[in-house]
Amino acid sequence: MHKIHEILRLRFEVGLSFRQISQCADVSTGAIQKMLKTT
């Protein structure tokens, strides 16, 4: 749950791209897109 919160923060507060978030959070770009699509 903490990782999802961090991904949301990086996307909407910091404004990082999917690629930048995937590097920071060590999660694939596709997984990030799926997470953000469902929220």
pLDDT tens per residue across span 2-22: 899 999 999 999 999 999 999
The residue assigned the tokens 């923060």 is: 9
pLDDT range class, residue 36, cuts 50, 70, 90: confident
State the pLDDT at residue 39: 66
CB 10 within 8 A of CB 21: yes
* 23: CB partners within 8 A, 6+ apart: none
Cβ count near 38 (within 10 Å): 6
What is the token pair recorded at 23?
Answer: 């590097």
CB 21 within 8 A of CB 36: no
Rounded to two decimals, the pTM is 0.79
What residue spans define the domains of the chain? 2-38
